[in-house]
Amino acid sequence: MPDKHVFQEDAQILTHFGEDYAAQFGAVTPPIYMSSLHVTPKEKLFETEPMPFIYGRVSNPTADLFERKIAALERAETALSFASGMAAISSCILANVQQGDHIVAVDFAYGPARNFIANDLSKFGIEHTFVSGKTVSDFVDAIKPNTRLFYLESPATAIFNIQDLRAIAALAKQNHIVSVIDNSWATPVFQKPITLGIDISLHSASKYIGGHSDVIAGVASGNAEIMHKVKRVRESYGGIVGPMEAWLCLRGLRTLLVRVKAHEAAALEIATRLSQHPAVRQVFYPGLSDFPQYALAKSQMSGFTGLLSFSLHGDRDQARAVASRLCWFHFGPSWGGFESMVNVLEGEGETNVVRLHIGLEGIETLWADLKDSLDQALA
Ligand SMILES: *Cc1c(COP(=O)(O)O)cnc(C)c1O
């Protein structure tokens, strides 16, 4: 892009940041560099300055463009992309802890992330404490002399507990603790944790960033020093994103802002209607003004996305029956794509929570489906 383009707004970054039309024969979309290695020109063979691209497990030009775009969105110095969200999570944690260290993590974090902390890291002598994280004192009380890392997920993607990111980031800094947040729910357009003082913001790009349910990928952002450590782990464990997947993420990013706004509008309306339905006990959606942590959510997010949950007055069997009667909501684990999804959360401390991803099918279509199923629960 010519110099006269100044990138200030997310919409500009999402659409055009980092793309060089002249270098790609005028193509408006960047090429996919399907190359496992990059050769060095003979005249540069013995120069001390390394070539930017050498081997595909270390870096790739398509992944690099995706990373620069995410770093710009997160207002971070640098970003790294991964083969999955879990590769991003495990690499960012591994880069910052060693034997004998202690991690404080939120108890409603993504299940496989909790499992990695509780069951995989414990094999290497790394301790952990899970906290609800709804108050800063949860973290203060959990700090031990060997605490090295706070693992956050805000909003957490089951019943959407929020952590006070500014206060927790400040507490981490005072105690020389690295703060890491899973920012997948809010996306880099609605929440920018680096600007609030958090050290690493990471995403499952398989969710809203990809946005079309056709890619598994992850990405993490932070300052150059911390991401340099993470890059060494990515190199050793081999978790870089593939070029095709990086390209699909770039494709997803172009429409991220318009998609999340559409998910937000539909989810807010559906959450409001759900909270007025007599079969529903409680709705969990941080964008509802009566959500218990609404003020905190508003103070650190500029918008809300499409994943929400609700509990019923009945038991788990009723939750299962309500979910299974839906026809536009498909039963499955993931979210963040164009399509609506439903899942019944088991073993989450809440016994009858139905989680919905509000897709792009249209509010009235989705509400008619939900209302019909909920009405039958009352019959
Ligand atoms: C899906 C998900 C992940 C893991 O991402 P993958 O790309 O599936 O590895 C991490 N965090 C949250 C909140 C998720 O929903």
DSSP per-residue letters across 160-222: -----HHHHHHHHHHTT-EEEEE-TTTHHHH--GGGGT-SEEEEETTTTTT-SS----EEEEE
Which residues in the chain are classed under CATH 3.40.640.10?
Answer: 4-254
CATH annotation of 256-378: 3.90.1150.10
| Protein residues whose CB sits closer than 6 Å to any atom of ligand 1 | 84-86, 110, 153, 157, 182, 184, 204, 206-207, 216, 218
Helix (H, G, I), strand (E, B) or coil at 147: strand
Average pLDDT over residues 36-42: 92
Q: Domain 4-254 has what CATH class?
A: alpha beta
**Residue 154: closest CA among 297, 341, 359:** 297
d(CA 203, ligand 1 centre) in Å? 7
**Ligand 1 atom nearest to 217, measured from its CA:** 7
d(CA 164, ligand 1 centre) in Å? 21
d(CA 42, ligand 1 centre) in Å? 43
**80 exposure class (CB count in 10 Å sphere: 0-12, 13-18, 19+):** buried
Average pLDDT over residues 79-102: 98
Question: In which band, very low, low, confident or very high, does the pLDDT at 2 lie, cut at 50, 70 and 90?
Answer: very low
Which residues in the chain are classed under CATH 3.90.1150.10?
Answer: 256-378
Angle at 209 between CA 364 and CA 254, to 5 degrees: 85
**Ligand 1 atom nearest to 89, measured from its CA:** 10
Hey, which residues does 180 pair with through a beta bridge? 151, 200
Helix (H, G, I), strand (E, B) or coil at 124: helix
Q: What is the pLDDT of residues 27-36, one digit of tens each?
A: 999 999 999 9
DSSP assignment of 333-364 equals S--SSSS-EEEEE-SSS-SSEEEEE--SS-HH
**Residue 1 confidence (pLDDT) above 60:** no
- Which pair of structure tokens corresponds to residue 368? 């008619």
Contact call for residues 344 and 323 (beta carbons, < 8 A): yes
**Residue 263 confidence (pLDDT) above 60:** yes
Residue 200 or residue 50, greater confidence:
200
Per-residue pLDDT, 333: 87
Per-residue pLDDT, 5: 67
d(CA 85, ligand 1 centre) in Å? 5
Q: What is the pLDDT of residues 299-309, one digit of tens each?
A: 999 999 999 99
Q: Which residue has the tokens 């398509």?
A: 62
Per-residue pLDDT, 349: 59
**% pLDDT > 70, the chain:** 97
Per-residue pLDDT, 351: 63
pTM, whole model, 2 decimals? 0.96
- Which pair of structure tokens corresponds to residue 187? 């996306």
Pocket test for ligand 1, best of 81, 90, 110, 203 (most atoms within 8 A of CB): 110
Is the four-CA dihedral 156, 160, 165, 168 of positive or negative sign? negative
**Residue 184 confidence (pLDDT) above 90:** yes
Angle at 102 between CA 79 and CA 91, to 5 degrees: 25
d(CA 326, ligand 1 centre) in Å? 24
Helix (H, G, I), strand (E, B) or coil at 370: helix
- Which pair of structure tokens corresponds to residue 296? 């905190």
**Residue 210 confidence (pLDDT) above 90:** yes
Q: What is the pLDDT of residues 226-248, one digit of tens each?
A: 999 999 999 999 999 999 999 99
Lowest-confidence region among 18-32, 235-249, 277-291, 346-360? 346-360
**% pLDDT > 90, the chain:** 88
Pocket test for ligand 1, best of 184, 341, 355 (most atoms within 8 A of CB): 184
d(CA 8, ligand 1 centre) in Å? 29
d(CA 225, ligand 1 centre) in Å? 25
**Residue 3 confidence (pLDDT) above 70:** no
Q: Report how far residue 270's alpha carbon sits from residue 364's, in angstroms, rounded to the nearest whole number.
A: 9
Lowest-confidence region among 36-45, 97-106, 249-258? 36-45
**Ligand 1 atom nearest to 153, measured from its CA:** 13
**Which residue is closest in CA terms to ligand 1's atom 7?**
85
d(CA 160, ligand 1 centre) in Å? 15
Per-residue pLDDT, 240: 98
**Residue 350 confidence (pLDDT) above 70:** no
Contact call for residues 211 and 188 (beta carbons, < 8 A): no
Q: Report how far residue 84's alpha carbon sits from residue 216's, in angstroms, rounded to the nearest whole number.
A: 5
**Which residue is closest in CA terms to ligand 1's atom 8?**
85
Contacts (Cβ under 8 Å, ≥6 apart) of 291: 160, 284, 285, 297
For the chain, the first-to-last Cα distance in angstroms comes to 61
Strands of 200-204's sheet, edge to edge? 78-82, 218-222, 200-204, 178-182, 147-153, 102-106, 127-131
How does the average pLDDT of the chain come out, rounded? 95
Phi, psi of 248 (to 5 degrees): -65, -35
**Ligand 1 atom nearest to 207, measured from its CA:** 1
Per-residue pLDDT, 181: 98
Per-residue pLDDT, 45: 83
**Ligand 1 atom nearest to 218, measured from its CA:** 7
**286 exposure class (CB count in 10 Å sphere: 0-12, 13-18, 19+):** buried
Average pLDDT over residues 343-348: 78
d(CA 110, ligand 1 centre) in Å? 7
Contacts (Cβ under 8 Å, ≥6 apart) of 355: 158, 307, 308, 309, 335, 342, 343, 344, 345
Average pLDDT over residues 313-336: 94
**Residue 110 confidence (pLDDT) above 90:** yes
